[in-house]
Amino acid sequence: MVGVTDAASSVMQKELSQLPWWKGAVIYQIYPRSFRDTSGNGVGDLKGILRGLDHIAGLGVDGIWISPFFTSPMADYGYDVADFCGVDPIFGTIEDFDAIVERAHALGLKVIIDQVYSHTSDHHDWFIESRSSRDNPRADWYVWADAKSDGSPPNNWQSVFGGSSWEWDARRGQYYFHNFLKEQPDLNLYNEEVQEALIAAGRFWLDRGVDGFRLDALNFSMHDRNLRDNPPSGVSAHEATRPFDMQLHTYNMSQPEIVGFIEKFSAMLDDYPGSFTVAEVGGPNPIEEMKAFTEGGKRLDSAYNFDFLYAPALTARTVIESANQWDQSDDEGWPSWAFSNHDAPRAITRWASDEHRDEMARLYMMLLLSLRGNPIIYQGEELGLPQANVPFSNLKDPEAIANWPKTLGRDGARTPMPWVQAAPNAGFSSADPWLPVDPAHSQLAVDQQQGNDSMLRFTAEALSVRKRVEALVQGRMRFSEGGDNSVLIIERRMGAELVLALFNFGDGEFNFPEGLVSAGDLLLSSRPLKEDPVKVSSIPARTGVWIRAV
């Protein structure tokens, strides 16, 4: 196999310099409530993010995504926005946010923030006016419908959080629609004025220096205007955790008109060269929407779904089936990948036993960084944090409370970031935090992971290697299995450069098939290898390796 010549490398570097910064970028997600508290109220804040930027930059990521910090009554902890252009006082001030942008840029980090365009808080001025009468200027800014003749809701749509998606409002004598909590009424994005108002909100933040957006629940942003009933999914009440799962969501979400709004929004982004957009796309069959939202160069840049976030186990086949939904054609959008985030139980708890948690955390980090696209690292993932244990009496998440004890819930992935093991609340806050600190997390605090053998140091090393190896950042991707579902082989190729990423999820040693690689440079291994790095022919159980073929 041929290595990369100096001339080829020079051409490659020139081509890469012409690509947008975000293509292959690694993004670090910050959940502000739980990152770091500097005010002593038990809730993380913007100044805490500012204080933690050096830690994030030290990892070697390319940008940060900050979950909502906007004005909100916090029914859904910030995803119920009451002012798209305001900072909630619990987090700080607009000047605090400006300081984050300035410092992040000085550290070489791009800044991505959430935008929630499918709904608002019921405390938003728009909704307060809309519900006041049927003929006010914003009467049609939300989704309103009359009751049936018997007083029941307009159709059978069910909320993600349980119960009907319709809430009666006596002021208007009508029902309003909410895909999520009743405190989160859905906007009517068919209304051109609503679209323009949301685009204006996006401009507000771009003008303050942000580098782009993560668009929350984007495929929930439009509904069937005929309000037709959803058909049944075939999932029984015994199998479902909520009525929402018992329907096919044919009419309450995922409408084709969403693409029109995306194109209008993206046209505005053209005024801000270098901006980046990534959409969250939920649902059982999201790939068609992900491609529609990102294809052709005139829509969004990237999208991610819940294939890995909700997967109860990780196998070679799981990875191959998800990633191969993208055909890597030139006009196709660019995928993003997340194994953990604020909406799902932490991956290490879903996928690994307690006995092998540490070694599997390293393997999973390497795998995330091996996929073609944008890896998204969730705060604490670089520390190997498992899902925290949150007693029922301490739960805050309405979904977790409603479904207890059927699911792990989201609170266990939202607990405070541990900074200093010996400090109160692991250095997160001087006051009792909004969610308790799991003692197991304190043992994994940042100050305890400064040694070279720590998960934190391994994450930084993996990111450093990836940044130097262009095939891992931009290269095309091809998969093969190693004979069973416990071994995954990924080929990343760019020009003449070929990197093999091999992952042994199993409990036994994996011997390379004949002809897999004749010789190579061992770039990284998640666990120590016994063999000569130039002649690696097998990898131990629960280990990942990157090998550059030469």
Q: How many domains does the chain have?
A: 2
Q: Quick one: pLDDT at residue 484? A: 79
Write out the E strands in 42-164.
63-66, 70-71, 83-87, 110-116, 144-145
- What tokens appear for 363 in the block? 């393997």
162 lies in a domain?
A: no
Specify the 3-state DSSP secondary structure of 225: coil
Q: What is the CA radius of gyration of the chain?
A: 24
Mean per-residue pLDDT, 313-338: 94
This prediction's pTM:
0.95
9 lies in a domain?
A: no
With a CB cutoff of 8 Å and minimum separation 6, the contacts of 394 are 411, 435, 436
Residues 387 and 353 in one domain: yes
Q: Quick one: pLDDT at residue 330? A: 85
Residues 390 and 487 in one domain: no
Q: Look up the domain containing 444 and give its range.
A: 20-121+192-463
Residues 381 and 257 in one domain: yes
Instruction: Quote the CA–CA distance of 393 and 287 in Å, as a whole number.
Output: 38
State which of 463, 494, 526 marks the end of a domain. 463
Q: For residue 513, what is the domain's CATH number?
A: 2.60.40.1180
Q: Quick one: pLDDT at residue 210? A: 98
Q: Quick one: pLDDT at residue 6? A: 44
Q: What sign has the CA pseudo-torsion 40, 43, 45, 49?
A: positive
State which of 431, 463, 495 marks the end of a domain. 463
Beta-bridge partner residues of 158: 164
Residue 146 pLDDT > 50, yes or no?
yes
238 lies in a domain?
A: yes
Instruction: Quote the CA–CA distance of 199 and 119 in Å, as a whole number.
Output: 14
Residues 230 and 328 in one domain: yes
| pLDDT above 70 as % of the chain | 95
pLDDT band per the 50, 70, 90 thresholds, residue 132: very high
State which of 439, 463, 487 marks the end of a domain. 463
Residues 524 and 413 in one domain: no
Specify the 3-state DSSP secondary structure of 39: coil
Residues 459 and 486 in one domain: no
59 lies in a domain?
A: yes
168 lies in a domain?
A: no
Instruction: Quote the CA–CA distance of 413 and 339 in Å, as a whole number.
Output: 12
Q: Quick one: pLDDT at residue 63? A: 98
Q: What is the pLDDT of residues 401-445, one digit of tens each?
A: 888 887 778 999 999 999 999 999 999 999 999 999 999 999 999
Q: What is the pLDDT of residues 453-479, one digit of tens each?
A: 999 999 999 999 999 999 999 999 999
Question: Among residues 265, 321, 262, which one has the least CA distance to residue 292?
Answer: 262
Q: Quick one: pLDDT at residue 127? A: 98
Whether the CB-CB separation of 229 and 264 falls below 8 Å is answered with: no
Q: Quick one: pLDDT at residue 531? A: 63
Residues 409 and 536 in one domain: no
382, amino acid identity? E
Mean per-residue pLDDT, 222-245: 95
Mean pLDDT rounded to a whole number for the chain:
93
405 lies in a domain?
A: yes
Q: Quick one: pLDDT at residue 407? A: 78
Residue 251 pLDDT > 80, yes or no?
yes
Whether the CB-CB separation of 544 and 525 falls below 8 Å is answered with: yes
Q: Quick one: pLDDT at residue 56? A: 98
With a CB cutoff of 8 Å and minimum separation 6, the contacts of 455 are 358, 361, 362, 365, 382, 383, 384, 444, 449
Whether the CB-CB separation of 143 and 176 falls below 8 Å is answered with: yes
Mean per-residue pLDDT, 187-211: 98
151 lies in a domain?
A: no
Residues 404 and 268 in one domain: yes
Residues 423 and 500 in one domain: no
Instruction: Quote the CA–CA distance of 284 and 243 in Å, as a whole number.
Output: 15
Residues serving a catalytic function are: 216, 280
Instruction: Quote the CA–CA distance of 414 and 322 in Å, as a whole number.
Output: 26
Residues in the chain: 550
Mean per-residue pLDDT, 57-67: 98
Residues 480 and 340 in one domain: no
258 lies in a domain?
A: yes
* SS3 letters across 485-548: CCEEEEEEEECCEEEEEEEECCCCCEECCCCCCCCEEEEEECCCCCCCCCCCCEECCCEEEEEE
Q: For residue 314, what is the domain's CATH number?
A: 3.20.20.80
Question: Among residues 143, 152, 145, 224, which one has the least CA distance to residue 184?
Answer: 143
Q: What is the pLDDT of residues 267-294, one digit of tens each?
A: 999 999 999 999 999 988 899 999 999 9
Q: Quick one: pLDDT at residue 7? A: 42
Q: Quick one: pLDDT at residue 362? A: 98
pLDDT band per the 50, 70, 90 thresholds, residue 532: low
Residues 306 and 255 in one domain: yes
Residues 481 and 456 in one domain: no
